[in-house]
Homo-oligomer: A and B are copies of this chain.
Amino acid sequence: MTYQCHDTKEKIMEVARVLFSDHGFEGTSVRDIAKAADVNVASVNYHFSNKENLLTEIMRSGYEECSHTVKSIYERNNSLEETLVELFQYFTERSHNLVSMFKIKLSTQHSHHFVAEGSKDQLLGPPGGVVIAAAIRNELGPDVTEEDVVWALRCLFTHVVHQSLMYNCCMKQGTSFQFTDTDIEKSIRRLTRIVLQDLRKK
């Protein structure tokens, strides 16, 4: 079993993302990860130097994956409403990516993962936020104010992210959740329409 670096490293990251999402960073031991990934305990430190660095790589790849997904979704359908609905579907398929990123964002200890490398003081916005903002501008034409775009972005992104978190966590917990994915899709569409409608009135 020599020369399987790439497979092992990626397997560790994928398994760790799931475990961090379910039990948190501190709630997951390197041994748990190695066992679940079916690799040796020492290989985690070999490939990532230490546990903290494993988190760093997971966060970076997760943020990039999400940004890239939003971009490619919008380039395909060219519609704000459809993009938001498909973003919810992506968050459901890759719920561990969303949940682990969000938990880290809420943590004091690991929040530095959301600070861009070059400019240490600049907080990263939501992944794909630039694309959604552009989509809003495209729907409303050139007369829309920047303040309105920011407000709409915040309303809509918040809604999609929070509904995705609630939907996927309650599903995982096995408790009877009141809302189906169809309900949430309807909710996203309705909110998108009334937000755009309000911005057009001005």
Q: A residues within 8 Å of B by Cβ? A: 22-27, 99, 102-103, 105-109, 111, 114-115, 121-123, 151, 154-155, 158-159, 161-163, 165-166, 169-170, 172-173, 175-179, 187, 190-191, 194-195, 197-198
Contact = CB atoms under 8 A, between A and B. Distances in A.
Nearest to A173: B111
A108 B22 contact: yes
Contacts of A123: 170, 175-178
B26 A111 contact: no
A105 to B, nearest CB: 6
8 contacts: A22-B109, A23-B108, A24-B26, A102-B106, A123-B178, A151-B190, A154-B163, A194-B197
Given A24-B27, A26-B27, A27-B27, 20 more contacts: A22-B108, A23-B109, A24-B107, A27-B107, A27-B109, A105-B169, A111-B169, A121-B175, A123-B170, A123-B177, A151-B187, A154-B163, A155-B187, A159-B159, A161-B162, A162-B162, A194-B194, A194-B195, A194-B197, A194-B198
A52 B42 CA distance: 31
Contacts of A178: 123
A106 B165 CA distance: 8
A91 to B, nearest CB: 13
Contact of A26 (B26, B115, B166, B176): B26
Nearest to A193: B198
Contacts of A172: 108
Nearest to A175: B123
A184 to B, nearest CB: 9
The 8 A-B residue pairs with the shortest CB-CB distance in the complex, in nearest-first order:
A26-B27, A26-B26, A22-B108, A111-B173, A158-B162, A123-B175, A162-B162, A194-B198
A189 to B, nearest CB: 11
B108 A106 contact: no
